[in-house]
């Protein structure tokens, strides 16, 4: 018997397995992190534009957009270096602000603010909090070619320059995280977020729209609309990081906000796509720990990855602490539907962003037996058709996926 420690929240859970029956997918060795000097070299040689110090003139204001607590990005290290470079270039500290790209997520806590930005920066730079439902924060700037109203946080237009700082990983319907997502949906109104996310669902087929999925950009209606909406903002520079499992920066692509993000996505996909010969009856999947398993809505992304390698009727064991619960107080309401077909009909009648996640989760629960190691209460699990995992020893042939949201598995 072999043992592997799988991440669960901020801790680890040991799993014993028979190596003749269980295969590890994506058990990556840690890549060395980039030093400040190496990051500085990359910032000096951006993709598709001039260095930031050439773009930003003395006394010009800069808004730095960073992810919220549900995303690891290495933003603390990056923003620290950015602020120092900007100040050395003639921008005063009071002319720099950071805004958290929360979308419809809850606002970051004081502790999370310091974790994302580092205490040093959080104390020295003004921080702004986005509220997708606060009309005083939102300004309508136009429409997409498909007629979706583009409503964004007015802070994007109150500063001379906007700099995006985010990490790239897989996303189950936007293709990849990072880049344009920091603006839309990250700093968009609730209405714009809902309308753009609805593009992922085909109400005629009651299914995911064709071309929308993990690792897909070309022909992905959601991604293309995010790009179109983000184009209304004054984005001067973008920094896209690649991280190892410890959350350390191992790669960085910066410069033009579209070109640098595209190259980061291509590199991430090349490094994290795995091909397998067969699906199996058992998949044990960890989200990779906090913050990937901060709530069930986030943890579902790892469940999506596991579903690609499990046989129909097989078992998926999900390790997801969910210290913040479900992610939305009204999330369970969707599971009052008798099945995913009825939920899909409700979704098409009155679309809500998290309803699509509920539909995706319920459909998997109908296709597989889903068990969970989690802090969620039994009532919530039962509503979602998930069983609490009672054993760590299994006899089936299967896979262990240490970080379900990090890899794309193809058969």
User: Could you report the per-residue pLDDT of 263-306, keeping only the tens digit for each?
Assistant: 999 999 999 999 999 999 999 999 999 999 999 999 999 999 99
Q: Answer yes or no: is pLDDT of 90 > 70.
A: yes
Mean pLDDT across 70-91: 92
Backbone angles phi, psi at 193, to 5 degrees: -60, -45
Strand ranges (E), 244-343: 249-255, 273-275, 280-286, 310-319
Confidence band, pLDDT 50/70/90 cuts, at residue 58 = confident
> What pLDDT is attached to residue 245?
83
Confidence band, pLDDT 50/70/90 cuts, at residue 246 = confident
Mean pLDDT across 218-232: 98
Mean pLDDT across 46-74: 93
> Average per-residue pLDDT in the chain?
94
Q: Tokens standing for 54? A: 């050439």
**312 with 328: CB under 8 angstroms?**
no
> What pLDDT is attached to residue 393?
66
Instruction: Determine which of 289-298, 376-385, 394-403 has the lowest per-residue pLDDT on average.
Output: 394-403
Walk me through the domains of the chain, giving residue ranges and CATH numbers.
2-25+276-410 (3.90.226.30), 36-271 (3.40.50.11440)
CB atoms within 10 A of CB 308: 17
Which among 140, 127, 142, 48 has a CA at the least distance from the CA of 93? 127
Burial (CB count within 10 angstroms: exposed 0-12, middle 13-18, buried 19+), residue 59: exposed
Confidence band, pLDDT 50/70/90 cuts, at residue 396 = confident
Q: Answer yes or no: is pLDDT of 336 > 60.
A: yes
d(CA 61, CA 328): 35
Cis status, amide bond into 185, omega within 30 of 0: yes
d(CA 315, CA 326): 22
**How much of the chain, in percent, has pLDDT values that exceed 90?**
85
Q: Answer yes or no: is pLDDT of 391 > 60.
A: no
Using alpha carbons, list the distances in angstroms from residue 92 to 162, 165, 178, 270: 16, 20, 27, 40
d(CA 400, CA 319): 11
Alpha helices per DSSP H over 45-139 = 52-55, 75-88, 110-117, 119-122
Predicted confidence (pLDDT) per residue in 100-137, tens digit = 999 988 899 999 999 899 998 988 899 999 999 999 99
> What pLDDT is attached to residue 28?
63
**373 with 317: CB under 8 angstroms?**
yes
79-107 exposure pattern, b = at least 16 Cβ within 10 A, e = fewer:
bbbbbebbeebebeeebbbbbbbbbbbee
Burial (CB count within 10 angstroms: exposed 0-12, middle 13-18, buried 19+), residue 390: exposed
3-class DSSP assignment, residue 58? coil
Count H helices, E strands: the chain?
A: 13, 22
Burial (CB count within 10 angstroms: exposed 0-12, middle 13-18, buried 19+), residue 29: exposed
Confidence band, pLDDT 50/70/90 cuts, at residue 360 = very high
Q: Which residues contact 74 (CB under 8 A, 6 or more apart)?
A: 167, 241, 243, 247, 248, 249
3-class DSSP assignment, residue 47? strand
**Total residues belonging to the chain:** 411
Angle between helices 221-230 and 190-197 (to 10 degrees): 150
Q: Answer yes or no: is pLDDT of 260 > 90.
A: yes
Predicted confidence (pLDDT) per residue in 135-172, tens digit = 999 999 999 999 999 999 999 999 999 999 999 999 99
Q: Answer yes or no: is pLDDT of 202 > 80.
A: yes
> What pLDDT is attached to residue 192?
98
Alpha helices per DSSP H over 273-377 = 296-307, 340-349, 353-367
**239 with 44: CB under 8 angstroms?**
no
3-class DSSP assignment, residue 330? coil
């Amino acid at each position: 018997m072999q043992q592997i420690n799988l991440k669960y929240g901020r801790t680890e859970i040991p799993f014993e397995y028979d190596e003749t029956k269980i295969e590890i997918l994506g058990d990556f060795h840690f890549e060395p992190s980039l030093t400040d000097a190496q990051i500085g070299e990359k910032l000096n040689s951006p993709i598709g534009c001039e260095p930031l110090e050439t773009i930003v003139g003395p006394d010009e204001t800069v808004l730095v957009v960073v992810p919220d607590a549900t995303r690891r990005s290495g933003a603390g290290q990056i923003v620290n270096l950015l602020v120092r470079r900007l100040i050395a270039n003639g921008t005063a500290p009071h002319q720099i602000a950071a805004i958290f790209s929360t979308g419809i997520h809850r606002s970051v806590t004081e502790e999370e603010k310091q974790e994302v930005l580092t205490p040093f920066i959080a104390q020295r730079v003004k921080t702004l909090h986005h509220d997708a439902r606060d009309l005083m924060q939102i300004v309508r700037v136009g429409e997409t070619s498909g007629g979706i109203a583009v409503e964004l946080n007015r802070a994007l237009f109150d500063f001379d320059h906007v700099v995006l700082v985010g990490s790239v990983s897989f996303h189950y319907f936007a293709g990849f995280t990072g880049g344009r997502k920091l603006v839309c949906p990250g700093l968009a109104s609730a209405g714009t977020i809902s309308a753009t996310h609805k593009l992922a669902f085909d109400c005629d087929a009651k299914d995911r729209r064709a071309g929308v999925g993990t690792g897909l950009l070309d022909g992905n209606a959601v991604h293309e609309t995010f790009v179109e909406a983000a184009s209304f903002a004054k984005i001067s520079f973008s920094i896209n990081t690649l991280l190892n499992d410890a959350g350390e920066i191992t790669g960085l692509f910066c410069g033009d906000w579209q070109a640098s993000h595209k190259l980061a996505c291509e590199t991430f996909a090349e490094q994290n796509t795995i091909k397998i010969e067969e699906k199996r009856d058992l998949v044990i999947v960890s989200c990779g720990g906090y913050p990937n398993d901060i709530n069930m809505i986030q943890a579902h992304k790892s469940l999506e990855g596991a579903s690609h390698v499990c046989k129909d009727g097989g078992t998926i064991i999900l390790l997801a602490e969910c210290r913040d619960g479900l992610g939305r107080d009204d999330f369970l309401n969707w599971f009052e539907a008798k099945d995913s077909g009825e939920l899909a009909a409700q979704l098409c009648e009155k679309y809500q962003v998290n309803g699509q996640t509920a539909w995706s989760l319920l459909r998997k629960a109908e296709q597989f037996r889903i068990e969970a190691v989690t802090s969620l209460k039994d009532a919530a699990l039962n509503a979602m058709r998930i069983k609490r995992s009672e054993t760590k020893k299994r006899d089936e042939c299967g896979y262990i996926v240490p970080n379900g949201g990090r890899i794309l598995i193809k058969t």
